[in-house]
């Protein structure tokens, strides 16, 4: 069976940057299952997997525009420490959920602290990074009606994979 819309696909992968540093891999967790065509994985990888079948192995290079986008310096802001109510100790690297202009929620990361000035970055940590995937397709199957309704694959234990 070929990978296409509304198929549940399980892949093993290793993700590296252009310097060869491993960013993520599935070897500790087992294959990643996703619903093809539902936007569960980055567009560049999903496009490369279209039409593949179980057992196929591929190396995919995904430019930032088809991954997490380019870095946007306007998404970096300096706030006053007082805006972090209820947080006793702020540290570089901490992440928070913050409302955005569209009424949604985004993750922001503390990137610098200078006295009461706290600099946050709302860019995805992999924004601006070219991603290199080594992928093996482990399984391709029809999605269940429940998976189609929910918009993501379900594992055998009933947990959701994203």
Domain membership flag for residue 159:
no
Domain membership flag for residue 35:
yes
pLDDT for res 156: 62
Contact criterion met (CB below 8 Å) for 1 and 140: yes
Q: State the CATH number of the domain containing residue 108.
A: 2.40.10.330
82 and 111: one domain? yes
Tokens of 45: 């990888």
DSSP 71: -
User: How far is Cα 113 from Cα 118, in angstroms, rounded to an integer?
Assistant: 5
For residue 69, give Cα distances in angstroms to 58, 131, 142, 152. Answer: 22, 11, 31, 22
Q: What is the pTM of this model?
A: 0.81
Domain count, the chain: 2
Residue-wise pLDDT tens digits, 33-82: 999 999 999 999 999 999 999 999 999 999 999 999 999 999 999 999 99
For residue 75, give Cα distances in angstroms to 37, 38, 102, 127. Answer: 29, 27, 14, 11
């Amino acid at each position: 069976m070929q990978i296409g819309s509304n198929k549940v696909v399980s892949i093993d992968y290793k993700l590296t940057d252009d310097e060869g540093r491993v960013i993520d891999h599935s070897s500790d967790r087992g294959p990643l299952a996703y619903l093809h065509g539902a936007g569960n994985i980055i567009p560049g990888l999903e496009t490369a997997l279209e039409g593949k079948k179980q057992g196929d192995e591929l190396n995919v290079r995904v430019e930032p525009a088809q991954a997490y986008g380019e870095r946007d310096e306007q998404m970096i802001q300096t706030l006053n420490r007082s805006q972090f109510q209820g947080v006793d100790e702020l540290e570089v690297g901490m992440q928070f959920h913050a409302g955005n202009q569209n009424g949604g929620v985004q993750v922001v990361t503390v990137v610098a602290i200078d006295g009461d000035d706290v600099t946050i970055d709302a860019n995805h940590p992999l924004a601006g990074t070219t991603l290199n995937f080594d992928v093996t397709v482990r399984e391709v199957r029809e999605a269940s009606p429940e998976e189609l309704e929910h918009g993501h694959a379900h594992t055998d234990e009933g947990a959701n994979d994203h």
